[in-house]
Amino acid sequence: MPTILISGANRGIGLELARQFSGDGWTVLGTSRDVSAATELAALPNTTVLPLEATDPEAIAALVKSLDGRPVDVVIANAGIAINLEAKPVEVTRADFLKVVRTNTFAPLALVAALKPNLLAGERKVALAMSSLMSSIGANTWATQYTYRASKTGLNAVMTALTLEWKPLGIACGLIRPGMVATQMTNYNGIPVQTSVAGLKTVVENFTTADAGRIIGYDGTDVPW
Ligand SMILES: NC(=O)c1ccc[n+]([C@@H]2O[C@H](COP(=O)([O-])OP(=O)(O)OC[C@H]3O[C@@H](n4cnc5c(N)ncnc54)[C@H](OP(=O)(O)O)[C@@H]3O)[C@@H](O)[C@H]2O)c1
């Protein structure tokens, strides 16, 4: 069965992705900042918990080293944060802004880029990052969420550049959108995480280089740019 690596897999959407893929027989490599606390993840079948502070390049390098060239079929850079979403423009701090961009934009690119040898060794060769409707400039009709929007629009930009660079290598890079999901990030408002992830799983399983340039929702619909 294929191997999938999911960052931020100790809770929320990442944990449910790990649960549904492992339940389907896939080998799951799930990352967590605190491995000892990731008990739900560790209890899943065919699942290994790996340590990762996603914003730390040394931690990413250590993760890749620990894989020792092991093939990875699918990577989902899922770990992400949202801070003070309702902040007015003058309330947006540089510290918050940089922290969110470091986590939501830099970290996914750094992780996926570092895993290139593992992806090339895998059969499916799929590298995805977790985008959001908030990434869309075209669909932004209600303002707010300055830091989060910037981080996810930036994520779209870097993943699109990577898509173009890696397509000749046969690696399918792309962006997926979970919908508004009831997790800690949304104070548990939104659709059930099981529903979102069931849809995302279908999108991930069918993702090919032909989907490059799309931001595909859990329901199969495209997020406008
Ligand atoms: N929920 C939604 O409605 C929604 C909508 C659109 C997009 N998304 C995106 O979907 C992804 C997952 O969101 P979620 O709702 O599952 O959020 P969540 O419940 O808050 O979980 C976030 C996960 O990311 C991890 N994480 C955060 N910062 C990290 C870092 N610096 N290094 C390593 N891990 C880190 C967290 O680990 P800790 O437990 O250690 O904090 C946790 O595992 C995010 O990228 C989010 O932006 C969510």
Residue 177's DSSP bridge partners are: 217
Q: Where do we find the tokens 């339940």?
A: 23
79 Cα–ligand 1 center, Å: 4
Please tell me the predicted confidence (pLDDT) of residue 10. 98
Residue 79 has pLDDT above 90, yes or no: yes
Is there an atom of ligand 1 within 6 Å of 103 CB? yes
Q: How far apart are CA 97 and CA 62, in angstroms?
A: 27
Strands (E), 117-214: 126-130, 172-177
Is there an atom of ligand 1 within 6 Å of 183 CB? yes
DSSP-derived 3-state class of residue 221: coil
- Say which DSSP state 223 is in: P
Is there an atom of ligand 1 within 6 Å of 178 CB? yes
Is there an atom of ligand 1 within 6 Å of 63 CB? no
- Taking only the tens place, the pLDDT of each residue in 157-176 is 999 999 999 999 999 999 99
Domains along the chain with CATH numbers? 3-217 (3.40.50.720)
- Taking only the tens place, the pLDDT of each residue in 53-72 is 999 999 999 999 999 999 99
- Taking only the tens place, the pLDDT of each residue in 110-165 is 999 999 999 999 999 999 999 999 999 999 998 899 999 999 999 999 999 999 99
Q: Are 32 and 78 in contact (CB under 8 A)?
A: no
